[in-house]
Amino acid sequence: MNDPYPPPPLSAPRPASAPRRRMGCLTVLLVLLLAASVFVNLALFGALGMQAGGEGRIVERKLRDLDETVLEEAKAGSSDKIALIRLTGVIAYSVEGTSGESMVSDLKKALQQAAKDDAVKAILLVVESPGGEVTASDTLYHAVRTARGKKPVVVYMQSVAASGGYYVACGGSWLMAADTTITGSIGVIWQTLQYKELLGKIGLGTLTFKSGKFKDLLNGAREVTQEEVDYVQGMVMQTYERFLRVVAAERKLDADAIREGVADGRIFSGTDAKSNGLIDDTGYIEDAVKKARELGKAEHASVVEYSARFSLAKLFRMLGEARSERTTVRLDLGQGAFPQLEPGKLYLLPPHLVGAPVR
């Protein structure tokens, strides 16, 4: 069944290089945009000044950081809204955001705007994520839980909402997935490479000077000690216990029971997740919208989605990163769908994704 609220289409790829003759026009356009921005800011400042009260106090106006796109019109003239927010892709601070520094800050900003808007009666968080970094996932879980304290948060899991994606989802008021959704994967993983034997075969070796025995922890150029193994395993289990406690508390499950059962890293279909108490119900996106309206007591509410405002700073940054003198050819061998794991970080990911390249 087609998603009635599909994500906005990606923009067409830009040419790798542009003719030099266009640079002059582009410069003029940027100057005009900059001048327009200054004019608008001055006009806004003037408007705020004109709203000064009788005692000379300027009335503060809180402008929204994100624009709204109406996905479904309200009925019966209602002014109520359901805010649809998407969590898509790998959860990581290194993933660039569209309105903030990272995808983490983007989602936090959207949740905060929805929570502060009195017209928004409920939030619908649509999750399409295999998981990601431990800290980033925990931060977003906290942000969802904070928003839940102000209004209902319905979480709808699409194709994949596993590991860190499920961790974040646990912050919601009501969890729903499709019968065919892949979810669960409650666990923590840390992986490194061992290349000592490879170096020996080609006649290479390493010489390491360190201030302490753990400073080159898990160095792949030498044998790993049992003390290092125990130390790292302890860190992994500490994080795992935090994940497990979140699931147990949010889903009202016995921690010891799920430790020996569903919280062993396995994945579940939406159907099995419901039977094991990991979610509340299965259905389609329309059912999640209906549930959000029900919990928000807003039967006729519209459905709106947030998008980033136009930013000259972001435009300048994009132009600065553009390479007009070089053409880059990228060969995709099917790895684009996998997260790029970074060494030295703990991850909440399904096991089949851990074989992804480490950068």
Question: Which residues in 89-222 belong to E strands, given as ranges?
Answer: 120-129, 132-133, 153-162, 174-177, 182-184
Residue 195 · residue 302 · CB < 8 Å: no
Q: What's the N-to-C CA distance of the chain in angstroms?
A: 37
Residue 315 Cα distances to 8, 13, 29, 330, angstroms:
19, 16, 12, 24
What does the alpha-carbon distance between residue 214 and residue 316 come to, in Å, rounded to a whole number?
A: 43
What does the alpha-carbon distance between residue 266 and residue 186 come to, in Å, rounded to a whole number?
A: 7
Residue 188 · residue 240 · CB < 8 Å: yes
- Note if 215 is an active site residue: yes
Q: At what angle do helices 312-321 and 21-50 cross, to 10 degrees?
A: 160
| Spacing of C-alpha 245 from chain mean position | 22
Among 129, 163, 173, 185, the one annotated catalytic: 163
Can you tell me which residue has the tokens 């542009």?
18
Among 215, 275, 297, 311, the one annotated catalytic: 215
- Note if 105 is an active site residue: no
What are the structure tokens assigned to 244, written together? 């497990």
DSSP string covering 340-358: -B-TT--EE--GGGTTSPB
What does the alpha-carbon distance between residue 94 and residue 101 come to, in Å, rounded to a whole number?
A: 9
| Cβ burial, residue 175 (10 Å; 0-12/13-18/19+) | buried
What does the alpha-carbon distance between residue 51 and residue 37 come to, in Å, rounded to a whole number?
A: 21
What does the alpha-carbon distance between residue 300 and residue 78 come to, in Å, rounded to a whole number?
A: 6
Which residues make Cβ contacts (< 8 Å) with residue 332, sequence separation at least 6?
A: none
Query: Could you list the active site residues?
Result: 163, 215
